[in-house]
Structure 1
Amino acid sequence: MATTTPGKPPDQLVDILKQIQARKTVKPEDATKALQQYYKVQAHIKTLKSEIELFKTSQEKQDVQAKSQAQGNSVVTRKNSIRSQGAVTKQAIPGSKTTPRTINSSSQMNGTVPIPSRGTKLPCRVSMNGQSKTQDRQPSNKATKDEKFKEDKFSKDEKQLSAGETTDKDKELARLRLQNAQMKVTLENKSNKGPNSVLGSENTTKSTILEQRDIPAPGKLVEEFKKIYEIEYKTAYHDLEKHYKLKEENITELLAGIAKEAYTFSINTSKQQFDDVTKAHAHVIDVLVQPKYALQVKDTITPKSKSIIDKDGYQITRRFLKDYRRAMAKVPIPGLIEIFETLVQRDVLSRFTALRITPKATKPYIHRLVEINWFMSIHEPQLAQVWPRGGQLMNRDWFTPYGKKGATVIHTVWPALFYHKEGTLAERGICLVK
């Protein structure tokens, strides 16, 4: 039965792999490796999503803090300006020499009444029985009313500013939430891109994380193939010449024979592997489409009518199968190297030399050839190599002569590489000619 976690949709691929493992249609260790690889991929995607969410949250907090600081500075500036206006009103006019006169026990200067500061007492002189006395009195009612009016106006302006600041913050937060939701939808769509999008655009560049991480691009494979000739090939050549005392022509024939055998081996193995995957694919389709219910006591119940998947659905699942195989392209490489070393020791060495054991210096050369040729065979379309036979005329557009000049090929030293069978030339080859 399918195992599901509350709040999460069931992972059908995991259930299918577990059923295949239980039915032993493939080797249990292969199914176990596939499950482990799939779990690692899912964990990696989950980690990337969480890192993206943390980055967006911290960015939003920084933007909100910067916004609030900017608005706070504007409010403080507005308050200072209002207070400075009140201070100017309260100050007396400088340069005035007119002496104040007393009118009804209130001081007046040029027709204006000075407004005292809040809570202060003004001294005044009152004549009583010919004697002058100094009395303290409270500010006038008119001054108190003016001051109260200014304070009310200031508090009202401050409230309006704070209300406007709150409104701006709400708008900014709403905008950021909307932007965050849109980014989440975009990320989910990109991470959940499956065979449906691939089917509609066969020639588009795939953005799957697994493909970018595990499968080198064709241009990168061309560079790596060229490096094999520059490094591993020359190292093996030097060792065979120095320690095994082989002639130049025998060495080039041996190393070229290993390279050609590695190319043929990778192409054939890739085809056989996909044929096996296709057979398993038919079984997976049957499990997905044809419902069954296994009772605990009695036999399995199957419906009389058969569910059928349409052609488009079959192509979608087939495309997904290819992508899944590409995602696991690195996994079988150690096994492929082991098989190919046996072939080299049994067939290639006996064909070109009298050696019975593969020289140690040629093992890095063999390992790199298997790895790069395997990646070339996994690509769609496959990268193609051209190996002219002895006696043919050398194509000077595709090949460079090895050492001597001539037009007739003795044997190919290194193949010409093309992006696919009918594609453009990626790297020129080398031929021994006469």
Structure 2
Amino acid sequence: MTAINEHGEDLHKEIDNIIQKLKSDLDEIDSKNLALLKKQEDKITSIISEITKVIAKLKMLMNSDDVRLISAYKFRNAEFRRLPPKLTVSLPSFIPQNINKKQLGSLSVITRSDPYSPPKIAEQFSQLYDNEWTDAFSDKYSMTEEVVITKLLQITEESYKYCKDFSSKRYTDIVADLTLSKRAEPNDLLKSLQEMGALVYESFYRELGLGHEWKKSVEPFIKECVRICWLMVDRDNPIYMKSSEKRGSEFDTDLYRYYTRSGQKVDYIVWPALFLHENGPLLCKGVAQPMAGK
């Protein structure tokens, strides 16, 4: 009995040591993550503060009649290239193992379920085609079916390109333009900066060259398209959109679904295919119309 009790005590000590080690490792991970988040927060706060000062200065100049002040003003746009890269913090998850003297468990750092993961974004993109695209297509006025499809595909391509360009270039010019044109207060600007997707949409929508009636009828599609495209590009490795195929090329059923008929040769693309990244694995199929009788 004594031997069994001593053996039990040894096992409990070993378990306690392992648990303490796991807790210590977890505390270290938390400390590092908090430091990274604080550093990122400080950078963003500093940039927002500087942008607010610049906008306040521009608003003052707009209301000033002093030509000397206006001519002497030096733009600082070059200083505000973009926000710091998006920070992704992985959280630890405990993975239990079969209990024995040598191994009671381990810590493995994994990423929790992300609603904005590439598969989730691809799912939203497919739903955009099933819902908002279908609604926009039904309001085609006197245009032919192919013309409407071409226009909607063009909006999709331009949304993606605009978001991609916006994420990689100076965006303070657009922020300042929107703020000054609407006479927005700095606090309103800060709120907009926290929702960059909405800001990109507003800027894109103002520049979109469509007829008034058509533009208003497809506004829900445009808004959702820009929102999803922003999620595609606002990441370290942007999701890749493939929206063109040479007319008459072989219809690849691995990449596209048939639109209203089947065939062996591509006539035109209806909806783009998405890939995890350029030359990467397929996330979701596109839709294409094959040539009639081919």
Name the TM-score class by shorter chain.
0.5 to 0.7
Matched, 1:216 2:216: no
Q: In 2, are the aligned partners of 1:329 and 1:375 still within 8 Å (CA)?
A: no
What is the DSSP-based 3-state SS (H/G/I as helix, E as strand, rest coil) of the residue aligned with 1:359?
helix
Paired AA for residue 136 in structure 2 = A
Distance (Å, rounded) in 1 between the aligned partners of 2:44 and 2:274 = 38
Distance (Å, rounded) in 1 between the aligned partners of 2:220 and 2:110 = 32
CA shift at 1:234, angstroms? 0.5
> Is the alpha carbon distance of 1:260 and 1:205 closer, same or farther for their aligned partners in structure 2, counting shifts above 3 Å?
farther
Partner residue of 1:272 out of 159, 164, 169: 169
> Is the alpha carbon distance of 1:220 and 1:250 closer, same or farther for their aligned partners in structure 2, counting shifts above 3 Å?
same
Q: Which residue of 1 aligns with 2:273?
A: 416
CA shift at 1:263, angstroms? 1.3
Q: Which residue of 1 aligns with 2:225?
A: 369
CA shift at 1:231, angstroms? 0.5
Q: CA RMSD in A?
A: 3.6
Partner residue of 1:331 out of 165, 190, 195: 195
> Is the alpha carbon distance of 1:407 and 1:17 closer, same or farther for their aligned partners in structure 2, counting shifts above 3 Å?
closer
> Is the alpha carbon distance of 1:380 and 1:16 closer, same or farther for their aligned partners in structure 2, counting shifts above 3 Å?
closer
Distance (Å, rounded) in 2 between the aligned partners of 1:427 and 1:18 = 37
What is the DSSP-based 3-state SS (H/G/I as helix, E as strand, rest coil) of the residue aligned with 2:269?
strand
> Is the alpha carbon distance of 1:229 and 1:15 closer, same or farther for their aligned partners in structure 2, counting shifts above 3 Å?
closer
Aligned residues: 186
> Is the alpha carbon distance of 1:388 and 1:19 closer, same or farther for their aligned partners in structure 2, counting shifts above 3 Å?
closer
> Is the alpha carbon distance of 1:18 and 1:261 closer, same or farther for their aligned partners in structure 2, counting shifts above 3 Å?
closer
Q: In 2, are the aligned partners of 1:222 and 1:426 still within 8 Å (CA)?
A: yes
Partner residue of 1:225 out of 102, 117, 125: 125
CA shift at 1:384, angstroms? 1.0
CA shift at 1:369, angstroms? 0.5
Identity of counterpart residues, as a percentage?
24
Q: In 1, are the aligned partners of 2:269 and 2:287 still within 8 Å (CA)?
A: yes
Runs of 4 or more consecutive aligned structure 1 residues displaced over 6 Å after TM superposition: 11-15
Partner residue of 1:383 out of 220, 239, 249: 239
Q: In 1, are the aligned partners of 2:193 and 2:199 still within 8 Å (CA)?
A: no
> Is the alpha carbon distance of 1:426 and 1:13 closer, same or farther for their aligned partners in structure 2, counting shifts above 3 Å?
closer
Q: In 2, are the aligned partners of 1:388 and 1:409 still within 8 Å (CA)?
A: no
Question: 1:200-349 maps to which residues of 2 (within 5 A)?
Answer: 205-206=110-111, 216-240=116-140, 244-272=141-169, 331-344=195-208, 346=209, 349=210
Distance (Å, rounded) in 1 between the aligned partners of 2:286 and 2:131 = 16
Q: Which residue of 2 aligns with 1:303?
A: none
Paired AA for residue 125 in structure 2 = F
> Is the alpha carbon distance of 1:377 and 1:21 closer, same or farther for their aligned partners in structure 2, counting shifts above 3 Å?
closer
CA shift at 1:340, angstroms? 1.3
Distance (Å, rounded) in 2 between the aligned partners of 1:337 and 1:408 = 36
> Is the alpha carbon distance of 1:432 and 1:15 closer, same or farther for their aligned partners in structure 2, counting shifts above 3 Å?
closer
> Is the alpha carbon distance of 1:269 and 1:404 closer, same or farther for their aligned partners in structure 2, counting shifts above 3 Å?
same
Q: In 2, are the aligned partners of 1:270 and 1:377 still within 8 Å (CA)?
A: yes
Distance (Å, rounded) in 2 between the aligned partners of 1:273 and 1:362 = 28
- Cα deviation digits, residues 368-425 of structure 1 (max 9, x gap): 1101110110123211111123425132211123213333333211011111223221
- Cα deviation digits, residues 266-325 of structure 1 (max 9, x gap): 11211225999xxxxxxxxxxxxxxxxxxxxxxxxxxxxxxxxxxxxxxxxxxxxxxxxx
**Which consecutive unaligned segments of at least 5 residues does structure 2 have?**
1-34, 57-106, 174-191
Paired AA for residue 245 in structure 2 = R
Distance (Å, rounded) in 2 between the aligned partners of 1:419 and 1:379 = 11
Q: In 2, are the aligned partners of 1:266 and 1:377 still within 8 Å (CA)?
A: yes
**Which consecutive unaligned segments of at least 5 residues does structure 1 have?**
1-8, 32-189, 191-200, 277-327, 350-354
Distance (Å, rounded) in 1 between the aligned partners of 2:196 and 2:55 = 10
Paired AA for residue 148 in structure 2 = I
What is the DSSP-based 3-state SS (H/G/I as helix, E as strand, rest coil) of the residue aligned with 1:250?
helix
What is the DSSP-based 3-state SS (H/G/I as helix, E as strand, rest coil) of the residue aligned with 2:139?
helix
Distance (Å, rounded) in 2 between the aligned partners of 1:249 and 1:371 = 25
What is the DSSP-based 3-state SS (H/G/I as helix, E as strand, rest coil) of the residue aligned with 2:236?
coil
Q: In 2, are the aligned partners of 1:405 and 1:433 still within 8 Å (CA)?
A: yes
Paired AA for residue 419 in structure 1 = L
Distance (Å, rounded) in 2 between the aligned partners of 1:223 and 1:377 = 16
The one of the two structures with greater contact order (alpha-carbon pairs below 8 A, sep at least 6) is: 2
What is the DSSP-based 3-state SS (H/G/I as helix, E as strand, rest coil) of the residue aligned with 2:233?
helix
Partner residue of 1:430 out of 279, 287, 292: 287
Distance (Å, rounded) in 1 between the aligned partners of 2:225 and 2:280 = 22
Instruction: Compute the TM-score of the two structures, normalised by the length of structure 1.
Output: 0.38
Paired AA for residue 228 in structure 2 = I
